[in-house]
Structure 1
Amino acid sequence: MILIVNKYLLGKSFKGVSLWPFVILKSPELKKDETFINHEKIHLRQQIELLILPFYIWYLLEYLLRLVQYKDRFLAYKNISFEREAYTQEMKENYVKERKFWAFLQFI
């Protein structure tokens, strides 16, 4: 994981984003936010499992499906299976080490 701090690379509503192998952060303080960093580490693991490019394709397609389903951008985002896994598991310090292969499938 390579951390990059750059407030100009992200939109207003984003604190950070994982683009394997990088995690781009809006502010340097986020480096100390263990929950946030763990959330992003979960996304990096998901990306590796799906061989990176298919992750982004799946993410986008699922977002569009959830957008049709919920008719709300924020709800669509929060209900993407990758996000559901990351948000529900981000508080678990050792989750990335202990998680099973393709664990996000249980969050579809």
Structure 2
Amino acid sequence: MNKTNEPKIKARPGRKPMTPEEKEAAAKLRAAEKGKADNLKVEFVLQYQGAEVDMEALAEKAKADFHTTKKRKLVTELKLYIKPEEHTAYYVINGNHEGKIPF
């Protein structure tokens, strides 16, 4: 028998190394996921006493209500104040136009 002083390297269990094509595909998938995460749009839903209100739909209703009186004015700022017990949302658009909408 031939014995050497070199230590024997044991194979470690786990996943096998990726090929260059697999690495490229994984990098593309990761980049796509990162792009989606960077552009994440949060959906807010208010639930109160059995009713559900989508906040984005409420914001669109507030903008539509605003545009009934100020047709050509752009909305640059929108604050919504929700009073679920009254089923009403109050809004302030562009810092000075106030209104309310039922939901």
TM (norm. structure 1) is: 0.29
Higher-Rg structure is: 2
TM (norm. structure 2) is: 0.30
Larger fraction in helix:
1
Larger fraction in strand:
2
Higher relative contact order (CA 8 A, sep 6+): 1
